[in-house]
Amino acid sequence: MIENILIAGAELWSVGTLLLMALGVVAGLIAGAIPGFTIAMAVVLVLPFTFGMSPVQGLGTMIGVYVGGLSGGLMSGILTGIPGTPSSVATTFDGFPLARGGKAGLALGVGVWASFFGGVIGAIVLVLVAPQLARIGQEFQPWDYFALMAFALTVTASLAGENMVKGLIAGLIGLLVATVGEDSVVGVPRFTFGVDSVQQGFAFLPVLVGLFAFSRLLADVRDSESAKGNLGAKSDASIRINHLVAATEVLKRWGNLVRSSLIGVFTGVLPAAGSSISNILAYDQARKYSKTPEKFGTGHLDGIVAPEAANNATAGGALIVMMALGIPGDIITAVMLGALLIHDVVPSPTFITEQPVIAYAIFIAFFMANFMMLALQSVTLRGFVRVTQVKIYMLASVILFYCALGVFALNNVEFDIWTLFWFGVLGFVMSALGFPIVPVILGVVLGGIAENALAQVIALSDDPTHFVTRPWSLFFIVLGLFSSFFHVYQRQRGRKRWTLVFIPAMCICLSVPVAMMDGIVRPVLAALLVVGGLYLLYQRHREGWVVMTEDQGEAPTIAEGGP
């Protein structure tokens, strides 16, 4: 382990890599600060630059963008009241009133230090948990791995928001796109329709950039008036941050800091639940635990610490899932998985044991990126104010050209620009029709891996009962079934009677595969799950299976409209 850390450290501690990471952090900070410019888009646009780099350098740069982007959102959120990214929505609730009250420096400082501490806590959990989880991954056989892929894809349903079916359709379209071209087992061309250029399949990057960045940019310029506007910061560029005061204020609130960071890590571990959810959850919990909840929304420092610590810690959680199980925790880690594939590194549950140098480099890079973010945030504050003066249509035009240039640089093939174009059209049309884009991307990333796992399953045995007799496979199938309906459960919780038995039923059903596992700890865990499920059922029974009537409704939550 020490040897791997030293090798990974040596690769990261070169001047070139450090410079690239710093550039990544600055790019992320500025991109995160621009309203409407998501972190995922920034990571996608940085991807073409990483082709010429080693996997460690490339991933280090992208982690820099990721961490920078998570922290960048607070700048525009606090200074303009418009969150730069969805991950800093809750920061604006107290950050903006505090800045408007003449304490912009303090608000920014507290946000920056909370982000830093949140990121460091996330990194510590990542280092401690990922290798342990990866050991479990070594127990996986092809049946378990295929079930894991199916589970990851069913989770995409929850990304669809209102309509689960649209999410599943989008995920299946992604899988179908991944089948185009020669199959990996026999090399037979599929769905090429006689076009030679499609023989090798669609390159991942043009598909990703087309679906995500291209379609998004065109949506941004749809309205002529808003396209001619600028990005909106009219703040004073000479704001000064007193770091000592800010760090002290954050550390005084250590309980809130640790709780919010752990909420962030936990949310990151859940596939598809990213920092856009964790910041609101952490804010909500901070308000509930506060002695002065009435001060929230008026410029309370706890209201800045909670969301900022949570959103940076989420990255640690998402990276745990990516490294330990080889499935993306969120859209950004999905892009990183794509980047690994471009560098011929196939993500799998054995990733940490098979690619220890890259794995430890990711751990170290995540730590370092948080320190870099802390150092560079003040510098980029001026850059942010400048960038926000640029007109949206100018930025969109230049980035569209850059997209074309970037995807061409991948293989020096003009067909890739056409791929970008057609997937841009597809992404735009799907968004306009209300289909989510993220499941398509997850489908494209996981399609090939899932097919290979299925091919191994068929090669090993033609007995399909292995899917239900192997504990891990059954575990993921049960989890997948329940997670498919989780969004419906969340919407109807407390309103429909079936929602009262959803969680107890999930606990009891999950206990079956856990009980089938070897050892002592897991059967004990299974027993606890059963006891927990039965206790919840007993509680519901004691409460008389009460559900809210339609007209009772629920008080508006933070997610629906502010504190």
Give the distance from CA 164 to its chain's centroid.
19
Residue 49 CB, shortest distance to other proteins, in Å, is: 8
Instruction: With contacts defined by CB under 8 A, name the span among 250-258, 280-288, 396-404, 497-505 that binds other proteins.
Output: 396-404
Q: Output the furthest CA–CA distance in the chain (Å, rounded).
A: 70
For residue 176, state whether it binds other proteins (rule: CB under 8 A).
yes
For residue 465, state whether it binds other proteins (rule: CB under 8 A).
no
For residue 401, state whether it binds other proteins (rule: CB under 8 A).
yes
Answer for the pair 439, 174: CB distance below 8 angstroms, yes or no: yes
Binding-site member from 25, 107, 175, 449 for other proteins (CB under 8 A)? 175
Binding string to other proteins for residues 186 to 215, with x set by CB under 8 A, is what?
xxxxxx-x----------------------
Backbone angles phi, psi at 185, to 5 degrees: -90, -55
**SS3 call for 391:** strand
Nearer to other proteins, 381 or 449 (CB): 449
Nearer to other proteins, 165 or 548 (CB): 165
Residue 174 CB, shortest distance to other proteins, in Å, is: 9
Nearer to other proteins, 179 or 248 (CB): 179
Instruction: With contacts defined by CB under 8 A, name the span among 249-257, 413-421, 492-500, 527-535 that binds other proteins.
Output: 413-421
For residue 251, state whether it binds other proteins (rule: CB under 8 A).
no
C-alpha to C-alpha distance for 386 and 454, rounded to whole angstroms = 51
Q: Which of 145, 146, 169 is nearest to 440 (CA)?
A: 169
Name the DSSP letter for residue 191: S
Name the DSSP letter for residue 230: B
Binding-site member from 221, 505, 537, 559 for other proteins (CB under 8 A)? 221
Binding-site member from 18, 133, 455, 501 for other proteins (CB under 8 A)? 455
For residue 451, state whether it binds other proteins (rule: CB under 8 A).
yes
Q: Which of 338, 327, 279 is nearest to 114 (CA)?
A: 279
Residue 122 CB, shortest distance to other proteins, in Å, is: 33
Extract the tokens encoding 397: 């035009």
Calculate the alpha carbon distances from 372 to 67, 68, 121 in Å: 9, 9, 16
Binding-site member from 86, 103, 124, 183 for other proteins (CB under 8 A)? 183
* Residue 281 CA neighbour count, 13 Å, CB half: 20
For residue 216, state whether it binds other proteins (rule: CB under 8 A).
no
Residue with tokens 């949140």: 118
Calculate the alpha carbon distances from 264 to 246, 269, 327, 364 in Å: 21, 9, 18, 19
The count of other CB atoms within 10 Å of the CB of residue 509 is: 17
The count of other CB atoms within 10 Å of the CB of residue 255 is: 11
For residue 224, state whether it binds other proteins (rule: CB under 8 A).
yes
For residue 222, state whether it binds other proteins (rule: CB under 8 A).
yes
Residues touching other proteins, count (CB under 8 A): 59
Nearer to other proteins, 215 or 370 (CB): 215
For residue 143, state whether it binds other proteins (rule: CB under 8 A).
no
Extract the tokens encoding 222: 């749809």
Backbone angles phi, psi at 181, to 5 degrees: 105, -170
For residue 454, state whether it binds other proteins (rule: CB under 8 A).
yes
391 bridge partner residues: 230
Binding site for other proteins (CB under 8 A): 49, 52, 163, 165-166, 168-169, 172-173, 175-176, 179, 183, 185-191, 193, 218-219, 221-224, 227-228, 391, 393-394, 396-398, 400-402, 404-405, 408-409, 412, 414, 417-418, 421, 424-425, 428, 432-433, 451, 454-455, 458-460, 462
